[in-house]
Amino acid sequence: MPKRPSSVTSVDVTSNPFEPSGSGAPLVEEEFWLPNVTWKQELQKWLDRLGTGQGTRSLAIVGGYGSGKSYILHWLDRVEFPRRKVLTFYFENPEVRFYDLANSLLRRIGRKHFAKLLWELAEPNRKRLQQRSLFAEGFEGYLDTVTKRTSTSELADLQEAIRQSEITADDEIAYCLARLIAETPRKPYFEYRDFVVSRSGSLVAQGQEHRYFAAILKTLRVADNVDRVAFLLDEFEQISLRKRLTTKDSQDYLVTLKRLIDITHQGDLWLVLAMTPDAAEQTARLDPAFWDRCYRFDIPPLTRDDAVRLVEERIERVGDPGGLFESGYMDVLQPTTIASPRRLVKVFHAAISRIMSARKRLSKDELKQIDQDIYSGD
């Protein structure tokens, strides 16, 4: 690192590398940084275990508010999981019920897009050659030829083709997926009953939802040529506290977790949950057996050296830290600010904004005052 100048009369910083809210994650991948030993290496060790071990593939990221849970999930989403060929789906404040989560995923993908992926995997295994000649134009050609009422024999052929593609070995689930494809021309969007059992005619039978969902995930994994699919559930702690839930909601919450955990046993799904310590303890009390099956990573507080690295990794993209702040600037911050990624980011967003406005170096006294103004000197 270049030697810090003793004084700077003018500073020109044109962008602020810190998020204004102190939460969320950087906009570009290169700005992600995790403390190497206490965070990154430990998380990578757990991911290695998830990838090679048997049984449950779930990880709980446990930490207080502002400790970096969302940051870690975004790092997994944008940096670490793509490196491991894992397709990720990020859910913020997911609903308590399993089928709400599933419907959120299906609507995000889009029915027509998913039907096309599934059809392309199944089509080479179709037995009815006379029909295949009609579908030479691909999926769009197939949609044009589908009649208002798909014949039983055509559905059976598509069902067997799906089974042959090894998406699922279950005849009933394969039939559900065949219907999903065949009904797409007249139902181009997912509906609630496409996943939820209802009186008005559901696509999937009661008790089969998680197996149906597992087949959907395998379709995505195979079609995207990835090794795994991962669900990143952020702020899941909001629905795990009994005082915020009815008895039924608490039961639905546990059913959701159990079904997701059951799917992870098949190897296609990794599950990463973000939780506060209180929520983790509450979940463990609600279902100790579930919690015993889940890996847990407790986010440690930042050390002073960690805090310096986090701040200077960002600042060096827009200028020299020594040119923007006096030597020893970290020493004037409150210990709780140094230990918290969210507080650090929020304080230094305000500090850089001040520098950009004044176009001069920020003194330690000024930085200390910003910290105390934001966090009331606690």
- Say what the pLDDT of residue 362 is: 92
Nearest CA-CA partner of 4 in 358, 307, 319, 356: 319
Phi and psi at residue 232, to the nearest 5°: -110, 110
According to CATH, where is 3.40.50.300 located in the chain?
36-103+222-298
Tokens of 252: 């639905």
Alpha carbons 254 and 288: distance in angstroms, whole number: 11
Alpha carbons 172 and 174: distance in angstroms, whole number: 5
The CATH number assigned to the domain with range 36-103+222-298 reads 3.40.50.300
CB-CB contact of 324 with 362 (8 Å): yes
Tell me which residues of the chain have a pLDDT lower than 70: 1-10, 22-31, 53-55, 95-96, 99, 128-137, 146-150, 191-207, 236-247, 249-250, 267, 377-378
Secondary structure (DSSP) of 76-136: IIIIIHHHTTEEEEEEES--SSHHHHHHHHHHHH-HHHHHHHHHHHHGGG---HHHHHHTT
State the chain's mean pLDDT as an integer: 80
Alpha carbons 346 and 264: distance in angstroms, whole number: 37
